[in-house]
Amino acid sequence: MDNVKAIGFIGLGVMGKSMAKNLMKKGFSVNAYTRTKSKAEDIIEEGCTWCESATEVAEKADVIITMLGFPSEVKEIYFGEEGLLNNAREGSILIDMSTSSPTLAKEIAEAADKHQMTALDAPVSGGDIGAREARLTIMVGGNEEAYNKALPVFQAMGTNVVLQGGPGMGQYTKMVNQIAIATNMIGVSEAISYADKAGLNPNLVLKSIGGGAAGSWSLSNLAPRMIAGDYEPGFYIKHFVKDMTIALESAEELGLDTPGLKLAKGMYEELVTRGFEDAGTQALIKLYVDQA
């Protein structure tokens, strides 16, 4: 497996499809499965091999990536009767790039070891733009030897790849990321709303503050979408609420109070009740626009 060529990929959503395409651009053959085949038609036309199930993916590749929406889906794909742990070959490297529970990541790693496989948790940050441009940040937890073997695979999808420690540490790092983003999104939304109320041109304001101390990925990439009223998802609100729920549960397990995270989660849950669960996270600005 020193020269990995065949990759299994399960989950061709907003980010997963771009990630799989970037693997193909780097010369990897991709064997993919996702629940709705119609969503994979374009990547199949580009040369991806379609598989009818996770079991078939497991039969065709020794490095298998999952990019799923919710921990329940991750659990089913790994532990289900037709899942990876029961059907992948010995020596396989299983890489979950979903944002999921650190506890579940540890359980998968332990089970993989019992099946003579290795599991890495490798959640990502960078949104739809980072996925398309192969500029993702990839936070990895797990066995160092497996990480080194998989590194060329990670480098085909991202530019900032860091092994954070043992099993679960990638997911813990992603929770740090989501906690930082949660309150930052409130700040960006309030800043843009304030600029508009003050009679400023928000786009000109961004030119002044984007490169200074107020600068952030969210300010540079999502504030322009807020200003334009573009709420198309780079990252779904429903998935962000899921992430914040995991982060809150994990923080409680660690004995840490996170009031900012609780506030952000409550605001996004309000958007869900208003029917914005499939909008992008930048739709948080709606809570301010609707005050007008």
Q: Which pLDDT does position 91 carry in this prediction? A: 95
Q: What is the mean pLDDT of the chain?
A: 95
Give yes or no for residue 128 having a pLDDT over 90.
Answer: no
Q: Is 228 exposed, middle or buried (0-12, 13-18, 19+ CB in 10 A)?
A: exposed
Q: How confident is the model at residue 30 (pLDDT cuts 50, 70, 90)?
A: very high
| Of 59, 44, 52, 7, residue with least CA distance to 28 | 7
Whether 174 is catalytic: yes
Q: Annotated catalytic residue: which of 21, 106, 174, 265?
A: 174
- The reported pTM is 0.92
The residues, any chain, with a CB within 8 Å of residue 236's CB and separated by 6 or more, are 14, 69, 277, 278, 279, 280, 281
Reported as a single tens digit per residue, the pLDDT across 134-147 is 999 999 999 999 99
The answer on pLDDT for 80 being more than 90 is yes
Confidence category of residue 3, pLDDT binned at 50, 70, 90: low
